[in-house]
Amino acid sequence: MIYLDHLASTPLDPLVLEAMLPWMRQEAAGNPHAAHAAGWRAADAIEQARAEVAALVGAQPGEVAFTSGATEANTLALLGGVPPGGGCVVSAVEHASVLGCLPELRRRGHPVVMLPVDGAGRVDPAGLERALAELPGAALVSVMAANNEVGTVQPLAELSAVAARHGAPMHSDAVQALSTRMLDMAALGLHGLSLSGHKLYGPMGIGALIVRRPFRPVPASAGGGQQRGMRGGTLPTPLCVGLGAACRLARERREEDARRIAELRDRLWRQLRERLPGIRRNGAAEGGEGLAGCLNVTIPGIDAADRLLDLPDLAVATGSACHSGAGEPSHVLLALGLSAADAHASLRFGLGRGTTVAEVDAAAERLVGLLTD
Ligand code: PMP
C-alpha cells in the first residue's frame, strides 16, 4: 500500500503508541476524576497531556478542553460560541463539521455570512471587513488555518485583526496546519482553535477545543462538570496521553517534517506535470503558501473516483475528498471556481511524516501508467 492520504488521517506514530500503552493496561485502570491514588495518577497524566496540547499553540493548560475530535470541537465553538443575537461569519471552504452547524444557527435566528474565496482558495480580509460592517452586534468569525482539500493557508493574523476591530472573537479550525506549521494563538489573535489527534500522528477519537478569554462557548454536554464545565464526560486517559505525546512530537518535528514533505510534494508534482498533459494544480500556486503535504490536481476529462478503483493499493482522495462516496463535487473546488466536471476530475495527494521518495515515484508511475494506457 502506498499511503498518500495523510490529510484524511495520519498513522499513529510508534512513539505515541508507546506513550499510550501503559494507560491501556489493567494496572492503570482508574477514573481520572476519582478521589483515590489510581484516579490521581490518571489525572496527573491527563494534566501533563493538557500542557503539551496547550504548548503546541502557545496557550495555557486551563484553556484546553479535550473533545472526541475536531468535529465536536468545531460544533462546540460554533453552536456554543455565537454571541446571543449576534451573527456568524465563516468561509465557503470550511470543513463540513463547521458548515454543518450553519442551518442550526440560522434556525436559532443568527445571521450567517459565508465569505467567498479567490481562485487559490484564500479569504480576502477586506471581504471580512465588509461582512462585519453589515452585521448587527458582535459576531463569531471562524476561518480555518489551512484547507483540507487544496492546502491553502489563510491569512489568520490579518483576518483576526479585522475581527478584533469589530469586537468579534475569532475561531480557527487548525486541524490540518498543526503537523507542519507553527501556530501561536496569541500572535495570531485567535480566541478559539480546534485540533484533532488523527491528523497529528495521534489517536483517533480525541481532539481539543482551545478557548481564550473572552471566548467562552456554552457547553453542549455539561455532564458531571468535568473540564471546568466546558465539556462533561469521563476523560479517556490513553487518548488524552496519546494526544499530548503527538503534540509534543509535532512541536519537535514540524519544521523538519515540513521541509522534507514539501520537497516530496514538489517532486510528485514535477513528475505528474511532465507526464500528464493538461494537468492543473489547485489551491496555493507553486512556490506559494500551501500545506507542505497537500497536492491537489485536476486531470481534465477523467472520472477520478472511477479510475482510482483500478489502483486500490494507492491511497489518495478524489474531488469529493472527505465525503468520498457521496458523489457530490467538492464544495471547496467549486468555491475556487472549478466546474463540477473538473471537480470530479480532481485528486488530492496527502503526504506525511512517513512518506518516502520511493513511494512518491511509484505513485506517479502507477498513476501515469493507468491514465496513459
Ligand atoms: N476539520 C478539518 C479541516 C478536517 O480535515 C477534519 C477531518 N477530515 C475535521 C475538521 C474533523 O476532524 P475529526 O475527524 O477529528 O472529527
Q: Does the Cβ of 95 fall within 6 Å of ligand 1?
A: yes
Rounded CA separation 331/320 (Å): 8
Ligand 1 contacts CB of residue 70 (under 6 A): yes
Q: Ligand 1 test: best mutation among 95, 193, 296, most atoms within 8 Å of CB?
A: 95
Strand order in the sheet with 64-67: 64-67, 207-211, 192-196, 170-173, 139-142, 87-91, 112-115
Sign of CA dihedral 189, 191, 196, 201: positive
Give the number of domains in the chain.
2
Ligand 1 within 6 A of 71 CB?
yes
Q: How many Å lie between the centroid of ligand 1 and the Cα of residue 274?
A: 33
Query: Looking at ligand 1, which residue's alpha carbon is closest to its atom 5?
Result: 148
Catalytic (active site) residue 322: yes
State the Cα–Cα distance between residues 14 and 244, nearest whole angstrom: 14
User: Are residues 126 and 229 both part of a single domain?
Assistant: yes
111 and 190 in a common domain: yes
Q: What is the pTM of this model?
A: 0.96
Burial 245-256 (b: 16+ CB within 10 A, else e): bbbbbbeebbee
pLDDT for 223: 81
Which atom in ligand 1 lies closest to the alpha carbon of residue 144?
Answer: 3
Q: CA-to-CA distance for 264 and 333, rounded, in angstroms?
A: 23
| 5, 74, 97, best to mutate for ligand 1 pocket (most atoms within 8 Å of CB) | 97
Cα 172 to middle of ligand 1, angstroms: 12
The per-residue DSSP string of 214-275 comes to: T--PPPS--TT-TGGGTS-S---HHHHHHHHHHHHHHHHHHHHHHHHHHHHHHHHHHHHHHH
| 245 and 319 belong to one structural domain | no
Q: What is the mean pLDDT of residues 1-13?
A: 97
The Cα–Cα gap between 118 and 335 comes to 8
Ligand 1, from 148, 156, 331: best to mutate by most atoms within 8 Å of Cβ?
A: 148
Residue 284: its pLDDT value, please?
77
Clarify whether residues 258 and 220 are in a common domain. no
- Does position 319 have pLDDT exceeding 70, yes or no? no
Q: Which of 153, 199, 320 to mutate to test the pocket of ligand 1 (most atoms within 8 A of CB)?
A: 199
Contacts of 168 (CB under 8 A, 6+ apart): 86, 89, 132, 138, 139, 140, 141
* Whether residues 213 and 269 fall in one domain: no
Q: How far does the centroid of ligand 1 lie from the alpha carbon of residue 142, in Å?
A: 14
Tell the residue nearest (CA) to atom 10 of ligand 1: 70
| Rounded distance between C-alpha atoms, residue 204 and residue 202, angstroms | 7
Inter-residue contact 283 to 151 (CB < 8 Å)? yes
Give the domain-ending residue among 214, 233, 249: 249
Write out pLDDT tens, residues 129-179: 999 999 978 889 999 999 999 999 999 999 999 999 999 999 999 999 999
Encode pLDDT of 188-233 as tens digits.
999 999 999 999 999 999 999 999 998 999 988 878 888 888 898 9
**Ligand 1 atom 16: the closest Cα is on which residue?**
71
Residue of 19, 116, 51 lying closest to 331 (CA atoms): 116
3-state helix, strand, coil in the chain (%, to 5): 45, 15, 40
Q: Is the minimum distance from the CB of 243 to ligand 1 under 6 angstroms?
A: no
224: CATH: 3.40.640.10
Cβ of 160 closer than 6 Å to ligand 1, yes or no, is no
Tell which atom from ligand 1 comes closest to the C-alpha of 97: 10
- Mean pLDDT value across the chain: 94
327 pLDDT tier (thresholds 50, 70, 90): confident
∠ at Cα 7 (333, 103), nearest 5°?
Answer: 55
> What average pLDDT score do residues 226-246 get?
93
Same domain? For 203 and 81 the reply is yes
Which structural domain range is residue 86 located in? 15-249
Of 249, 265, 299, which one is at a domain's C-terminal end? Answer: 249
Last residue of a domain, one of 207, 222, 249: 249
* 121 & 180 share domain: yes
Element at 41 (helix H, strand E): helix 37-56
Per the structure block, which three cell numbers stand in for 269?
A: 508534482
The alpha carbon of 193 and the centre of ligand 1 are apart by a number of angstroms equal to 12
Provide the pLDDT for residue 285. 67
Percentage of the chain surpassing pLDDT 90?
86
- Write out the three cell numbers for 348: 488530492
* Length of the chain (residues): 373
Instruction: Give the CATH number for residue 331.
Output: 3.90.1150.10
**Does 330 lie in the same domain as 208?**
no
Cβ pair 177, 290 in contact under 8 A: no
pLDDT in tens, 261-290: 999 999 999 999 999 999 999 997 655 679
**Ligand 1 site, residue 355, Cβ cutoff 6 A:** no
Give yes or no for residue 152 CB within 6 A of ligand 1.
Answer: no
Q: How many angstroms separate the Cα of 84 from the Cα of each of 214, 215, 286?
A: 14, 13, 43
